[in-house]
Amino acid sequence: MDAVPRRVACRTRSRRREGTIDRKRTDRPYTPTAMPIHSTAKMDALSKVDPSADIGARTVIEPGAEVQRGAKIDEDTIIRAGTLVREDARIGAGCDIAAYYVGQGAMIGDGVKLHQGSSVGDDATIEDAVHVRDNALVGRQASIGERTTLGPRTHVHPFAAVGANVTTGEDVRIENNAVVGDNATFADKAHVAPHALVGDGTRVGENVRIGTDAGLGVVPAATVDKNCTLGHNSRVSGSARLKDGCTLEA
C-alpha cells in the first residue's frame, strides 16, 4: 500500500485520568464520596445513582437506569430507562444514551447517540457526534472517531480502531485490532478480519470479506464492490477497484 492509515487518535482518552477512583488495596471498606448533583438534573425515583456519581445540569436519568460509582455525566444528557453506566465511565454533554451497557472507564464524547440494545465495552473511547445504532456493539478498548455512524448490529471488536466520519451498514464486523481510516464506508455484512488495515476513504461493498493482515490502499482510496473476498495477507493499492464477486489471494 502507499500508506498505512493512522491509528485513531481519540482526544477524549486523555480525560480518563481526571477524577478517577484510586483502587489500591486498603484495610478500610470503600465509602463513596458524595458528588454534587446539579439542582436542575432530574433523577427518577426508580433509577439508581451512586452518591459518588457526578450528574450535570439538566441531565435526565430515567426509570430503571443505573449509574455506578465515580461515573460522570455532563449537562443536557438523557440516560434512558434500563441503561447501566458502569464505574468511572464518562459521558459528555448533549448525549442520548439508550444503550444496554456503558462499560467501566468508557469515554463518550459530546452529542453521542447510543440506540436501543447497543453496548460499549470497558475502557472504550467514542468521540463526539457518533451514532451507534440498534444492537450495535463496541468492544473493550476499541475506539470510534468523531461523526462516525455504526449501523444496526454492527460489531466493533476489542482493540479495533475506527476513524472519523466512517459509515457502516447493517451487520458489519470489524474484528480485533483492525484499523479503519477516516471517511471509509462499509455496505451491509462486510467483514474486516483481525489486524487488517483499511485506508482513508475506502469504499467496501456488500458481503465483502477482508482477510487477516490484509490491507487496502489509501491515496487515492480503493473501492471493493459487493460479494468480494480478499484473502489473508493480500494487498490492494490506492485507486484500485475490485468488481462484484471477485476473489483476491495473497
pLDDT class for 249, splitting at 50, 70, 90? low
Q: What angle do CA 139, 93, 34 make, to 5 degrees?
A: 90
**pLDDT averaged over every residue in the chain:** 83
Q: Which of 19-33, 49-63, 90-104, 224-238 has the lowest mean pLDDT?
A: 19-33
pLDDT class for 174, splitting at 50, 70, 90? very high
Q: Do the Cβ atoms of 87 and 70 come closer than 8 Å?
A: yes
pLDDT of residue 200: 84
Q: Does residue 130 sit in the same domain as residue 180?
A: no
For residue range 108-165, what is the model confidence (pLDDT) as tens digits? 999 999 999 999 999 999 999 999 999 999 999 999 999 999 999 999 999 999 999 9
Euclidean distance between CA atoms 130 and 183, whole angstroms: 13
DSSP 231: -
Provide the 3-class DSSP secondary structure of residue 113: strand
* Domain limits for position 117: 33-136
Q: How many helices (H) and strands (E) does the chain have?
A: 0, 35
Q: Does residue 43 sit in the same domain as residue 102?
A: yes
Residue 21 counted as domain residue = no
Q: Do the Cβ atoms of 242 and 225 come closer than 8 Å?
A: yes
Q: Does residue 165 sit in the same domain as residue 132?
A: no
| Boundary (domain end) residue, out of 136, 152, 185 | 136
pLDDT of residue 5: 55
Residue 42 counted as domain residue = yes
The residue with greater pLDDT, 126 or 215, is: 126
DSSP 18: T
For residue range 78-88, what is the model confidence (pLDDT) as tens digits? 999 999 999 99
Q: Does residue 103 sit in the same domain as residue 170?
A: no
Q: Does residue 42 sit in the same domain as residue 78?
A: yes
Number of domains composing the chain: 2
Most confident option among 91-105, 192-206, 216-230, 234-248: 91-105
pLDDT of residue 193: 85
pLDDT of residue 235: 64
Q: Do the Cβ atoms of 52 and 73 come closer than 8 Å?
A: no
- Rounded to two decimals, what is the model's pTM? 0.80
Q: Name the residue with cell 476499541.
A: 142
Calculate mean pLDDT across residues 43-60: 95
Euclidean distance between CA atoms 130 and 132, whole angstroms: 7
Residue 219 counted as domain residue = yes
| Boundary (domain end) residue, out of 74, 101, 136 | 136
| Boundary (domain end) residue, out of 136, 152, 178 | 136
- Contacts of range 198-207, beta carbons closer than 8 Å, 24 or more positions apart: 198/5, 199/1, 199/3, 199/5, 199/238, 200/5, 200/163, 205/244, 206/169
Q: Does residue 130 sit in the same domain as residue 64?
A: yes
pLDDT of residue 33: 57
Residue 144 counted as domain residue = no
Q: Do the Cβ atoms of 55 and 77 come closer than 8 Å?
A: no
For residue range 220-239, what is the model confidence (pLDDT) as tens digits? 556 676 666 666 666 665 56
* Closest by Cα among 181, 136, 179, 137 to 160: 179
Calculate mean pLDDT across residues 168-188: 93
Reply yes or no: is the peptide bond before residue 220 cis, omega within 30 of 0. yes
Half-sphere exposure of 243 (CA within 13 A, CB side): 0
Q: Does residue 55 sit in the same domain as residue 126?
A: yes
Q: 238: domain CATH number?
A: 2.160.10.10
Calculate mean pLDDT across residues 51-67: 96
Euclidean distance between CA atoms 85 and 64, whole angstroms: 12
